[in-house]
Amino acid sequence: MSFEDIYNHYWSKIFRLCMGYVNDHAVAQDLAQETFIIVWQQLPKFRKESSIGTWIYRIASNRCLRQLETDKKIQKSELPFQIKEDVPISIEPQIQFLYTCISNLPETDRIIISLELEDVKQAEIAKIVGLSEGNIRVRIHRIKAILTEKFKVYER
């Protein structure tokens, strides 16, 4: 798989993962870009010990975890490349609410539920996060219950 194929196939998935983590369009865009910079740099070293998806999701989620190092002072001038600054955000309130709820979960839960909603297999999520499959299953169940509860209150 060439870098271009990977980029086209995974960009939206990685962007959503980052968006679920930070719930900020500009920051998520930066995190996704940084992920692809690492992918681009390390692709020649990728040894196929895991699937390419697991590999990329690991890089992206680790990048998200490290994000708090640069928190609060993300320098716009330092960004590798700029897309339009003011992205028109006119998504439906329900979608926005889902992303807000997810970004308020504990950090590792944000990653787990984002991967689940992205249709990543639970065995793969376990490999990405570094926990057992059973653990991931329990956690996903619990997060979904929390989200459902929040949506019920929201609907009222």
Alpha-carbon gap, residue 48 to 25, rounded angstroms: 32
SS3 annotation, 33-55: HHHHHHHHHHHHHCCCCCCHHHH
Q: Which positions ≥6 away from 17 have C-beta within 8 Å? A: 57, 60, 61, 64, 111, 114, 115, 118
Applying the rule CB under 8 A, the residues between 42 and 81 that interact with other proteins are: 42, 46, 50, 55, 58-59, 61-63, 65-66, 68-69, 80-81
Distances (CA, A) of 139 to 39, 53, 117: 28, 21, 13
Q: Is residue 27 a contact residue for other proteins (CB under 8 A)?
A: no
**How far apart are the C-alpha atoms of 127 and 121, rounded to whole Å?**
10
**Nearest-CA neighbor of 115 among 64, 41, 49?**
64
Binding to other proteins by residue 118, rule CB under 8 A?
Answer: yes
One-letter identity of residue 1: M
**86 near other proteins (CB under 8 A):** no
Judged by CB under 8 A, does residue 153 bind other proteins? no
Indicate whether 146 belongs to the interface with other proteins (CB under 8 A). Answer: no
Please report whether residue 18 would count as binding other proteins according to CB under 8 A.
Answer: no
Total of residues contacting other proteins (CB under 8 A): 67
- Binding residues for other proteins (CB under 8 A): 4, 7-8, 11-12, 15-16, 19-20, 25, 29, 33, 36-38, 40, 42, 46, 50, 55, 58-59, 61-63, 65-66, 68-69, 80-81, 83-84, 87, 89-92, 94-95, 98-99, 106-109, 111, 114, 117-119, 127-132, 134-135, 138-139, 144, 147-148, 151-152, 155
